[in-house]
Amino acid sequence: MDTSGSIPVLQLSQLTLAFGGVKALNNVGFSVQPNTITTVIGPNGAGKTSLFNTISGFYRPNAGTIHFQGQDITQTPAPERAKLGLARSFQNIALFRGMTVLDNIKLGHHAHLRTNILDALFYAGRARREEVELRRQVEERVIDFLEIDHIRHHPVSALSYGLQKRVEMARALAMQPKVLMLDEPVAGMNREETEDMARFILDVREEWGITVLMVEHDMGMVMDLSDHVVVLNFGQVIADGTAADVQANPEVISAYLGSGDVSDLREKLRQGMAEA
């Protein structure tokens, strides 16, 4: 996808995050172009989840800036970033297990509700209109899109792991994001579940026009879906470019395999794509 000349929807510049004397992120910078799929990869402990937590506002960087649609959001609290259009899923599922699928998904839209306490108390006026619109948005669009209509009234605790990951993605989509951040969306899934999730991620970008930023370890999926790949190692960006460019980068080979033989990584990628 040609995005040359586009203004980045997300721009990270010189981000540094330290915990005591340990730098989880060290001068990290890259951009995410609109209507693309950008994937952050790297060995375990490279700083990927710390990066996601910093972008979404759970961590405050020690230095550097985050611009979202041209606006500096470095000091903006996490709830306000959600209102602006940053939505995310989590590496470890963060659903309310005692609630139904529908109620979990509806919670994703709460940042956009404008009902005051009196409207909510008497369920009148604006509260009623917002509830009707919310149900239409969630039930007619998100639930149908992710093919989970048959489980909408099931408690989350009764679902398989793969379906729980799909519900978490649905909750993020209910936030009406401009950028959807997915933290290891296919981790722990079987081949069929992985193929379904890959299809949904592509459709989110192609049909909904939502930019996707994800962290993922499934290298076959990364190379198949990504327009842009960023590689982290020890909190630093060591490669940044197309999937083909990254695949051939000697620093990436070394970070993953401890070897300079590019054929080893290519074989690993082929195996990953064959299993996906």
Tens place of pLDDT for every residue, the chain, 276 residues? Answer: 555 557 899 999 999 999 988 899 999 999 999 999 999 998 888 899 999 999 999 999 999 999 999 999 999 999 899 889 999 887 666 677 778 888 888 877 655 445 444 444 444 555 566 666 666 666 678 888 999 989 889 998 888 888 888 888 988 898 889 999 999 999 888 889 999 999 999 999 999 999 999 999 888 899 899 999 999 998 999 999 998 888 888 888 877 755 444 455 556 555 555 554
Q: Give the pLDDT score at 188.
A: 84
Q: Give the pLDDT score at 241.
A: 92
Q: Give the pLDDT score at 113.
A: 47
Q: Give the pLDDT score at 129.
A: 64
Identical topology for domains 1-85+177-276 and 94-176: yes
Q: Give the pLDDT score at 161.
A: 86
| Beta-sheet strands, E only, within the chain | 10-19, 22-32, 37-41, 63-68, 71-72, 86-88, 179-183, 211-215, 228-233, 236-241
Q: Give the pLDDT score at 70.
A: 93
Q: Give the pLDDT score at 107.
A: 79
Q: pTM for the full model?
A: 0.82
CATH code, residues 1-85+177-276: 3.40.50.300
**8 A C-beta contact, residue 156 and residue 104:** yes
| Integer Cα distance of 155 and 73 in angstroms | 36
| Integer Cα distance of 174 and 214 in angstroms | 18
Residues in the chain: 276
| Integer Cα distance of 263 and 245 in angstroms | 14
Nearest to 86 by CA among 61, 69, 62, 102: 69
**8 A C-beta contact, residue 193 and residue 138:** no
Domain ranges of the chain: 1-85+177-276, 94-176
Those residues whose C-beta lies under 8 Å from the C-beta of residue 182, and which sit 6 or more positions away, are 88, 89, 169, 172, 201, 212, 213, 214, 215, 216
Q: Give the pLDDT score at 255.
A: 77
The top-level CATH class assigned to 94-176 is alpha beta
Q: Give the pLDDT score at 265.
A: 53
